[in-house]
Chain A
């Protein structure tokens, strides 16, 4: 196997595939250098600018009329949609770090949180980016102090007199150690330790000492006057936490079907390195088994990966960005809006008859102005539906055409299908002959690509 095939596999799992320029550039690069490049670009990310949206004072918030409140809500929503499409465009952009964006997407699904306010949404995503390949302990603590998470899981209401267990429970069940490794007593003790953790109007973490429970707590067999950070440290002392995160990483980056031995390898590295995320991810991308044929092209692309990948491959931009949101809704994954705190279940759950037909028809919709006629379910506050109809896009496939045009048809089919499809496939040329436009080389290449991207195999990475 040439390194290019491995690099292509790596690029889909650690990113969003390769543009034809990158494909060309990486064709003579050893795998290890490609891996090193990914990590180099993912470190020390620039902070995304935080938009002005907050209140200057509590009075300002209280004195707002219902109309202004509604108007503000609408503006916030529109702004979050902008942030959403900005992010998809970053994923598609050759200049940004694919691994950074992919890891951030992973952590967004892991620390799943609905992000409704634009300034808090950016703050939250900045936190995920900052620690994306950093240290997991730092990440968990930062998330526990994040204003969006504090409000999403009700920790703002977690007070000494009335402990609220929501955050403490999800911290263990979904964010760190997983079910079966803690008791209901542990949940109660952890909730007490996080009492008084809140955020200011501007999103800074504040510790309200009057609301904090300074009493003795017994948590996972230890007794002391624990606060939230102590609880996180005790959870991370357990190897089960490394195992839980490694399993989730394996499912997301490698295969829906777990392999206990490979997961153990990852968990060992993660635990021994004191939860260094880069160390674990390097162990993954540098392992032999990651490049095993059994792990190639076996993951169903999530809607966001499908969309960003398509944009990256075809250098595609939407004239109006609203359809990028509507497509996410129709396909079942909206950034900043995971279905619940457990995140997107992924795998086969992306697929039903409706989403599959939309996926298979997507290139026809985008490039042949095929009418979509797809109604999105109404939001609760609305009666009407958004309709996905014609979508206008710009794509530049000239670089692809010029790369392959000198070849004969047979070679073009072979080379382009290898570039576009990550899974074993066979092309029935009797079918292709009927649907491919052979009038010029350019039309041949273009129509061939559209067909290949309509195959179920294109849904895989």
Chain B
């Protein structure tokens, strides 16, 4: 027996091959050319947590019901950045006008799902898992994409710019990777002991779960190294908001432009639950959002990456049409979704404005199931079959 080791229990052989599997292979069954195109494509998801008030984001500035329902909160016509004769953006989002004019922004209104749930947690779970509202899934839609199309990808193929991982990126088998700051992550893996443990070759066979822990550990260390190296290649000079959200978008742009293997990026901006004093809070957040998205778009455009990137912005629900007595709005239902990128098939306002004349107990009625947007992204952008990921087939849309 090797003198340097003491072995306490029965050992046999463990083959640790997880790290040496060939890198990214995508667009299976699609032929090489298409796979090649898909492999360059990036998807960026921006989640607005708390339920963003869509009607004060994309403003129906010709609509009397809107102004009648919101005597103090409605945005006056002269403060609206007009996108057409009826609809415009909240004035604090002015920087996004040029993205719209360049044909790089598509706004889909009245997005939701049947039997809407007004609980933040539940509705966010529904959006993140792509479930029906009476169905409980413990895997996310992007996680299931990884399960079906990316079992052999590096773990940083799908990344959330956060310290913890959202349900959206958790699959049944495979999950995405969480890192709010790749350099901080890299430092956290520097423990000499853990590094040694992870490299240690085990002679005995682990149970499946122990093997899974070791595999996750090694992948984390290897991805932390990889991302740390990538982060040195390109440093952005664009001005992003100086908060956590801005930093997350900046890291997203830097990794995309550096040519990282990462293809899916997930980030969140929180605080949209504006039951009281909505105006100040929402204006500040939307200003942040617009600044961040504009910087990201500029960054990607300057570096010839905008054509290969698709950005989706969503929130778990919109808010009620009527304002409440505290200068805010309460939880609602349908909302708008933004899609951005250099290769949109249909830019502009996708399906007209919100329909305020036909409400369900004061709430907007959804017209587009959000899973049709996911399905379109999966099929047309990522080259997947949406039914395999969403558990049923959804009708595709034309934005890409």
> Hey, which bits of chain A sit against chain B, CB under 8 A?
66, 166, 169, 256-257, 297-300, 330, 332, 339-342, 345, 347-349, 351-357, 360-361, 364, 373-378, 380-383, 385, 410, 413-414, 417-418, 423-431, 434-435, 451, 454-457, 459-460
Contact = CB atoms under 8 A, between A and B. Distances in A.
B165 A352 contact: yes
B56 to A, nearest CB: 17
Contacts of A299: 209
Contacts of B124: 380
Interface of B: 4-11, 49-51, 120-122, 124-125, 134, 136, 138, 155, 162-167, 170, 175-180, 184, 188-189, 191-194, 196-197, 200, 202-204, 206-210, 212-214, 216-217, 219-220, 223, 244, 268, 270-273, 275, 281, 285, 316, 326
Contacts, number: 178
Contacts of A351: 212-213, 216
A353 B134 contact: no
B10 A424 contact: yes
Given A166-B134, A356-B217, 4 more contacts: A351-B212, A353-B175, A375-B244, A410-B6
A380 B5 contact: no
B4 A430 contact: yes
Contacts of A361: 188, 191, 194
Contact of B5 (A423, A426, A460): A426
Given A342-B136, A342-B138, A431-B200, A378 B271 contact: yes
A27 B188 CA distance: 39
Contacts of B167: 339
B50 A423 contact: no
Given A431-B200, A435-B193, A357 B220 contact: yes
A457 B167 CA distance: 26
Contact of B207 (A347, A423, A430): A423
B204 A426 contact: yes
Nearest to B205: A424
Contact of B178 (A298, A353, A428): A353
A431 B209 contact: no
B120 A340 contact: no
A426 B214 CA distance: 14
B120 A375 contact: no
A330 B164 contact: yes
B162 A353 contact: no
B138 A426 contact: no
B192 A377 contact: no
Contacts of A330: 163-164
A148 to B, nearest CB: 15
Contacts of B184: 373
A431 B5 CA distance: 10
A414 B197 CA distance: 17
Nearest to A388: B163
Contact of A169 (B8, B134, B180, B217): B134
A433 B223 CA distance: 28
Contacts of A353: 155, 165, 175, 177-179, 216, 219-220, 223
B395 to A, nearest CB: 25
Contact of B220 (A356, A376, A454): A356
A142 B165 CA distance: 36
A376 B164 contact: yes
